[in-house]
């Protein structure tokens, strides 16, 4: 990857009683003499009547809202929103929007609202989409020759910057795109070349860059910002965090997450109906979550039909006391059926043990995972005497013969149905609540760029929209903390075992020992997740 490693650009402002503002960069940090203009919203009847519509320069939002009497005020982020003075004249703005990484519900809503926000609030009419897909209906409407232009070099995402053509976006052209899943601009992984991207931004005269994407994308955005600052360009770089996995640090949650959790209910319901209807029915549902199990955890908590949730952060084991098989037997005996939700990144170490490990990566360097849902379903079926539709077992032949012996001894008939709705939960339009969220994120992004801020990600922190320095959202990912309250709530809800290994359980005879283990794990897992800590 040709990305330039971003330098530390954190602007720290300290105040009384341990107050710390982790401020975001501003164009005037390296272009001190830039002229300012009054915000056009001042003359807009809809906004000028709103009391305190403009955000005070001093407004900041605390990172932690749970505090103790003696605790310092702690880290704060700059509050998002419109400022009295802006650093761009409407006619001079040439904005561009790019979407990178995997799909997520709400991408089109964010694109739409950036376009409408720029146009309706600030009178900006020059907005480019990076990049045009050959089968994009907007392209076809407005650029009938686009197929020819695109035929060899069209890519979405960061690769789109290297293509010759872009698409003009206007409120009219994006009017109903929020009703569709995916992204009208296309997306891709890999191919980030900072210099080439910034050359392109410079050559086209772009001065506001809106980059929508996940953790990798935000790292790419940070590199672009650094290069722009090095070249002293008057260009605002704004990140809008997108991640179906909710794995971006600091922010309360990412857009599209609620929609994905909601859609996952349909798969879980189906698994439950199937499981209930057969003898010893087991429904296995695999959900997205490469490194973080938030979707699986929230889908489980929302459903109440799930008996066991497996996530990457919580290692589990199959055989022996406290293992998954023991729990399956117990649940089937008690209830006659059960539902298991498994996040795609769960149990990868177990799969690697029983299968030849595959160390493959995608174009962005993300680890390509083995199919835990299929693997788990096979292991359960082989463990018991299966009666259900047979999935191919050739991959597991070695373990099969050994396990089949025990399977016959068990004399337990099971009916297992495996449901994999992976892409169905992210390739849909966002729901009502995510649409509102996307709108506010997009508007915050626009206000920030117009006010001359740059090198930041917009994000909801404790229910308030803020501008967060890139470093803060890219330095580490957001993970489910298994020693935190939310995971404990899930364990109480499903009544599943904690899957501390049998060795750990034997050794940790006393509650004190268990407590020690918990503290050590907390240390190794990093900071608490905002989504959990907030509740």
Residue closest to ligand F6P (Cβ): 102
In this structure, how many other beta carbons lie within 10 angstroms of the beta carbon of residue 358? 11
d(CA 14, CA 217): 30
Q: Where are the beta strands (DSSP E) in 173-260?
A: 208-213, 236-241
**Which residue, 270, 227, 294, 173, is CA-closest to 470?**
227
For residue 196, the SS3 value is helix
Residue 286 binding result from ligand ATP, ligand F6P, Mg ion, none, given CB thresholds of 5 to 8 Å by partner type: none
- Kindly write down the DSSP assignment for every residue of 43-68, as one continuous string: G-HHHHTSTT-SPPTT-EEES-----
DSSP 380: H
d(CA 533, CA 535): 5
Q: Segment near ligand ATP (CB under 6 A), from 75-83, 137-145, 209-217, 331-339? A: 209-217
Nearest approach, Cβ of 213 to Mg ion (angstroms)? 8
Nearest approach, Cβ of 123 to ligand ATP (angstroms)? 31
Residue 241 binding result from ligand F6P, ligand ATP, Mg ion, none, given CB thresholds of 5 to 8 Å by partner type: none
Give how many residues touch ligand ATP by CB under 6 A.
23
Nearest approach, Cβ of 215 to Mg ion (angstroms)? 4
Nearest approach, Cβ of 262 to ligand F6P (angstroms)? 16
Buried b (16+ CB within 10 A) or exposed e, 470-488: bbbbbeebbbbbbbbebbe
d(CA 46, CA 58): 24
- Cβ proximity to ligand F6P: between 215 and 532 the closer is 215
> Within 228-267, which residues bind Mg ion (CB under 5 A)?
none
Q: Segment near ligand ATP (CB under 6 A), from 219-227, 310-318, 390-398, 410-418? A: 219-227
d(CA 463, CA 248): 16
Tokens (6 digits) for 35: 């002229």
Nearest approach, Cβ of 44 to ligand F6P (angstroms)? 38
Binding residues: 102, 189-190, 214-217, 243-245, 288-290, 344, 423-426
Instruction: Let me know how many helices (H) and strands (E) the chain has, helices first.
Output: 19, 18
Please report how the helices 257-277 and 432-450 are oriented relative to each other, as an axis angle in degrees rounded to 10. 160
Contact residues for 515 (Cβ-Cβ < 8 A; gap 6+): none
d(CA 252, CA 42): 31
Residue 191 binds ligand ATP (CB under 6 A): yes
Residue 243 binds ligand ATP (CB under 6 A): yes
- Cβ proximity to ligand ATP: between 189 and 381 the closer is 189
* Options 113, 215, 227, 252; binder of Mg ion; rule CB under 5 A: 215
Nearest approach, Cβ of 220 to ligand ATP (angstroms)? 3
* Options 157, 373, 448, 455; binder of ligand ATP; rule CB under 6 A: 157
Q: Which residue has the tokens 């991207």?
A: 197
- Cβ proximity to ligand F6P: between 188 and 439 the closer is 188
| Residues at the interface with ligand F6P (CB under 6 A) | 102, 214, 244-245, 288-290, 344, 362
Residue 288 binding result from ligand F6P, Mg ion, ligand ATP, none, given CB thresholds of 5 to 8 Å by partner type: ligand F6P
- Cβ proximity to ligand ATP: between 81 and 102 the closer is 102
* Options 366, 462, 501, 502; binder of ligand ATP; rule CB under 6 A: 366
Active site residues: 245
**Which residue, 349, 348, 230, is CA-closest to 289?**
348
Binding residues for ATP: 102, 189-190, 214-217
Residue 246 binds ligand ATP (CB under 6 A): no
Q: Contact residues for ligand ATP (CB under 6 A)? A: 1, 3, 100-102, 157-158, 189-192, 213-217, 219-220, 223, 243, 245, 364, 366
């Amino acid at each position: 990857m040709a990305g330039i490693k971003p330098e530390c650009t954190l602007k720290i402002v300290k105040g009384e009683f341990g107050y710390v503002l982790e401020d975001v960069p501003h164009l005037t940090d390296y272009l001190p003499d830039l002229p300012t203009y009054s915000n056009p919203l001042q003359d807009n009847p809809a906004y000028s009547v709103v009391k305190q519509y403009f955000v005070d320069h001093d407004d900041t939002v605390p990172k932690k809202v749970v505090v103790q009497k003696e605790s310092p005020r702690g880290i704060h982020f700059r509050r998002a929103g419109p400022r009295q003075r802006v650093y761009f004249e409407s006619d001079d703005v040439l904005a561009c929007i790019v979407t990178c990484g995997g799909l997520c519900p709400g991408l089109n809503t964010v694109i739409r609202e950036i376009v409408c926000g720029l146009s309706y609030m600030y009178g900006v009419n020059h907005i480019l989409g990076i990049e045009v897909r050959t089968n994009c209906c907007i392209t076809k409407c407005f650029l009938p020759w686009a197929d020819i232009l695109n035929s060899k070099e069209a890519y979405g995402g960061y690769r789109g910057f290297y293509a010759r053509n872009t698409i003009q976006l206007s409120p009219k052209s994006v009017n109903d795109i929020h009703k569709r899943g995916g992204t009208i601009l296309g997306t891709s992984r890999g191919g980030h070349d900072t210099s080439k991207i910034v050359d392109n931004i410079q050559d086209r005269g772009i001065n506001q860059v809106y980059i929508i994407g996940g953790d990798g994308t935000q790292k790419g955005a940070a590199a672009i910002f650094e290069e722009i600052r090095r070249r002293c360009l008057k260009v605002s770089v704004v990140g809008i965090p997108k991640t179906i996995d909710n794995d971006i640090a600091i922010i309360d949650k990412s857009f599209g997450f609620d929609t994905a959790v909601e859609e996952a209910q349909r798969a879980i319901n189906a698994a439950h109906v199937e499981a209930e209807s057969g003898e010893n029915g087991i429904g296995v549902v695999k959900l997205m979550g490469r490194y973080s199990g938030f979707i699986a955890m929230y889908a489980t908590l929302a459903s109440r039909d799930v008996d066991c949730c497996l996530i990457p952060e919580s290692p589990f084991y199959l055989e022996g006391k406290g293992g998954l098989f023991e729990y399956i037997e117990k649940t089937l005996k008690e209830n006659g059926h059960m539902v298991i939700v498994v996040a795609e990144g769960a149990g990868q170490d177990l799969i690697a043990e029983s299968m030849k490990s595959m160390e493959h990566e995608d174009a962005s360097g993300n680890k390509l995972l083995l199919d835990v849902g299929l693997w788990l379903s096979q292991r359960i079926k082989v463990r018991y005497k299966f009666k259900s539709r047979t999935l191919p077992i050739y991959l597991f032949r070695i373990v099969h013969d050994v396990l089949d012996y025990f399977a016959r001894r068990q004399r337990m008939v099971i009916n297992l149905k495996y449901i994999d709705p992976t892409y169905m939960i992210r390739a849909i339009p966002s729901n009502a609540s995510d649409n509102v969220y996307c709108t506010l994120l997009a508007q915050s992004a626009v206000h920030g760029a117009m006010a001359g801020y740059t090198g930041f990600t917009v994000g909801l922190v404790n229910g308030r929209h803020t501008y967060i320095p890139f470093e803060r959202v890219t330095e580490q990912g957001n993970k489910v903390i298994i020693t935190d309250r939310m995971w404990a709530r899930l364990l109480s809800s499903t009544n599943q075992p904690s899957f501390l290994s049998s060795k750990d359980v034997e050794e940790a005879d006393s509650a004190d020992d268990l407590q020690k283990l918990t503290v050590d794990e907390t240390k190794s897992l990093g900071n608490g997740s905002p989504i959990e800590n907030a509740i």
